[in-house]
């Protein structure tokens, strides 16, 4: 795979190294002359000097044949525009953008840039996972497909507690896919009994959380 990585900070440099180790062809782009010279000592011809928001810099890097463009500079505007141009002008099918300020996530979405990776957001999700609020954790959101996977802790006395999976009343468009109990997880059958204290994983159509949460965690 040919990958163009934009921004040779810690993220970009480490990512490029890993990709090269895995046998991929990589061009790393860096717009700061001093940083470029440092990185060039290690990566040699795999790094090019230039501002990737300029079209000729992308073209020199061979954007026309890139399988993937990863924009991981510290500047959200740069990441957004590099990905936009890669997708829309050079028809590169896959882009990945780093979001530095989670408040800018909405702008990436608005410009149709996905997937995006936000370290702040990831850490927030991890914290949410460790300290679940209302017992609900979003594990995965497939935005294009409008599907989500969530995790809920079953409360004592909840409508679903002590019921067989087949009897738990769930809205259409949702399904219990896994039960976590005593440190291990399993895929339930219709006869599996949901116990208070279990963690259940559900796949659901986006937007159904509010109907599903009371079934497992009414408080």
Residue from 10, 60, 103, 138 binding other proteins (CB under 8 A): 103
Range in contact with other proteins (rule: CB under 8 A) among 60-68, 105-113, 174-182, 211-219:
105-113
- The beta strand positions in 86-212, using DSSP E, are 94-98, 116-117, 136-142, 147-153, 174-181, 184-186, 199-205
Task: Tell me how far, at minimum, the Cβ of 77 lies from other proteins, in Å.
Answer: 4
Q: Which of 26, 80, 83, 113 binds other proteins (CB under 8 A)?
A: 80
Six-digit token string for 97: 């953008």
Asked if residue 121 binds other proteins (CB under 8 A), the reply is: no
69, two tokens: 């463009």
Query: Nearest distance from residue 113's CB to other proteins, in Å?
Result: 11
Check binding of 55 to other proteins (CB under 8 A).
yes
CA 195 to chain centre: 31
Please select the residue that binds other proteins; options are 111, 117, 149, 170, rule is CB under 8 A: 111
Q: Which of 16, 31, 48, 104 binds other proteins (CB under 8 A)?
A: 104
Residue 3: which residues within 8 A CB-CB, separation 6 or more? Answer: 19, 24, 25, 26, 27, 66, 67, 68, 69, 70
Rounded-to-integer distance, Cα 180 and Cα 11, Å: 34
Closest of 84, 72, 87, 86 to residue 31, by C-alpha: 72
Which of 10, 60, 65, 89 touches other proteins by CB under 8 A?
Answer: 89
Which residue from 18, 42, 77, 156 is in contact with other proteins, where contact means CB under 8 A? 77
Pick between residue 49 and residue 90 the one whose CB is nearest to other proteins: 90
Minimum CB separation of residue 211 from other proteins in Å reads 29
Q: Residue 27 or residue 79: which is nearer to other proteins going by CB? A: 79
Range list of H helices, the chain:
10-21, 33-43, 55-60, 76-88, 105-110, 119-130, 209-216
Residues that bind other proteins (CB under 8 A): 53-56, 75-78, 80-81, 85, 88-89, 103-104, 106-107, 110-111
């Amino acid at each position: 795979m040919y990958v163009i990585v934009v921004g040779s900070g810690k993220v970009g440099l480490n990512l490029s190294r890993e990709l090269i180790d895995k046998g991929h062809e990589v061009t790393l782009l860096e717009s700061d002359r001093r940083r470029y010279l440092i990185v060039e000592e290690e990566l040699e011809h795999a790094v090019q000097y230039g501002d990737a928001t300029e079209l000729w810099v992308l073209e020199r890097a061979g954007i026309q044949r890139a399988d993937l463009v990863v924009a991981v500079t510290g500047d959200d505007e740069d990441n957004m525009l590099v990905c936009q141009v890669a997708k829309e002008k050079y028809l590169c099918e896959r882009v990945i953008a780093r979001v530095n300020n989670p408040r800018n996530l909405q702008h990436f979405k608005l410009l149709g840039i996905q997937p995006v990776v936000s370290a702040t957001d990831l850490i927030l999700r991890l914290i949410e996972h460790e300290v679940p609020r209302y017992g609900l954790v979003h594990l995965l959101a497939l935005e294009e497909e409008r599907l989500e996977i969530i995790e809920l802790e079953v409360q004592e006395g909840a409508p679903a507690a002590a019921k067989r999976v087949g009897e738990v009343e769930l809205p259409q468009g949702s399904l219990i896919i896994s039960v976590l109990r005593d440190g291990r997880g399993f895929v339930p059958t219709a006869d599996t009994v949901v116990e208070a204290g279990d963690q259940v994983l559900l796949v659901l159509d986006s937007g159904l959380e509010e109907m599903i949460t009371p079934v497992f965690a009414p408080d």
